[in-house]
Amino acid sequence: MVEAGTIIFWSYSVQWKYDKKNLIISGLNYDLYLSLFPGFYIYTVDGIRYDQLLRSFEEDERDLAEELIKKLMEKNVLVTNVMGIHELFDPQQKYFMPHNNYDEEMMFDASKVEDFKRQAQQRNDKREENEIALPAYDWDAEKSRRESIRSFSNNCISSKDFAYVLNGLRQKKIPDNKRRYCYPSAGGLYPIDCYLYVKENIVEGIGGGLYFYSPANHSLRLLDKILIPKTIHYLNNREIYSSSAFSIYFVYNPCFSMPKYGGMGYYYAILDTGIMMQLLTMQALERNIGSCIIGDLNSKKLKEYMKLASGQIYLGCMEMGYYESK
């Protein structure tokens, strides 16, 4: 149900085209609604109240318009809030295609992917004449040991180790009513909220369920004792999720950065998330907790399980658990 006052926008990442017979939106056919165009697009491109949009059509076309709005909202062609990462970034691929030297099959062939990875990592091997060699230092033990862990021990995580990992995100109150964190964030706004999903009987003193982490109180608020199924993950990440003790979800709250930074707040939020992920990786490693960052999952499904509001943007996830003893 869309409320009358909701402002509806045509997503700028969605293209449409039509001729006398066909209406194609984002590659799909919408011929049934041909009579509503181009007005429909012109009304929504800069945002329009839902009730006003319906009133923009003749009475006998309003049911059709209502039906189309519902369909296009389901497909994220029409949006009412800041867009998710897929809507934002997926269209970039189109502009990259003329520069893509690899066939599209590449990403489905393991040996071709491995070859592509090798080429990516070796792209700077060649020494140039004007290169200045720098002294190399050994990484400390922690840095040397870091690697993405995809299979975890089923040993119960001690409450101290669990708290230690999250301690990296803690907010500290300092004199003059100021707050500090041990990592940076654009403008000191810290607009990323962390949610924890803890599996049953695997973290000492913490029951299974979904929690919100409060950096101000360094505490967990139980939101729901739900079970989040492995199907929120894509096939190649399901085993990682099945063996982890807990997951950390990074959720951007634009209300706490866009008023200052506008659209760039979104970009900074992604940078903030990367910084937090690296910090947590190293914090966990100190307690023999391994981790794996998961770049993509079915965020629509996850958002439903988490009961996130439409303005909360899911940005990423980490899976954690003790290293398996070798």
Please report, as ranges, the residues that interact with ligand FMN according to CB under 6 A.
147-148, 150, 237, 240, 292-295
**Cross-strand pairs, 293:** 318
Residue 258 Cβ vs ligand FMN, minimum distance, rounded to whole Å:
23
- DSSP H or E run through 80: none
Q: Is 68 left (phi over 0), alpha (psi -120 to 50) or beta?
A: alpha
Is the Cβ of residue 38 or residue 274 nearer to ligand FMN in the bound state?
274
How many Cα atoms sit within 13 Å of 304 on the Cβ side? 7
Extract the tokens encoding 297. 């999952």
Residue 108 Cβ vs ligand FMN, minimum distance, rounded to whole Å:
15
Cβ neighbours, 10 Å, residue 216: 10
Residue nearest ligand FMN by beta-carbon distance:
295
Is the Cβ of residue 144 or residue 177 nearer to ligand FMN in the bound state?
144
Residue 235 Cβ vs ligand FMN, minimum distance, rounded to whole Å:
11
Q: Of 165, 170, 195, 234, give the one whose Cα is nearest residue 313.
A: 195
Is the Cβ of residue 189 or residue 315 nearer to ligand FMN in the bound state?
315
**Cross-strand pairs, 83:** none
Residue 47 Cβ vs ligand FMN, minimum distance, rounded to whole Å:
32
Residue 264 Cβ vs ligand FMN, minimum distance, rounded to whole Å:
20
Is the Cβ of residue 76 or residue 151 nearer to ligand FMN in the bound state?
151
Q: Is 218 left (phi over 0), alpha (psi -120 to 50) or beta?
A: left
CA–CA dist 23, 31 (Å, integer): 5
Is the Cβ of residue 25 or residue 317 nearer to ligand FMN in the bound state?
317
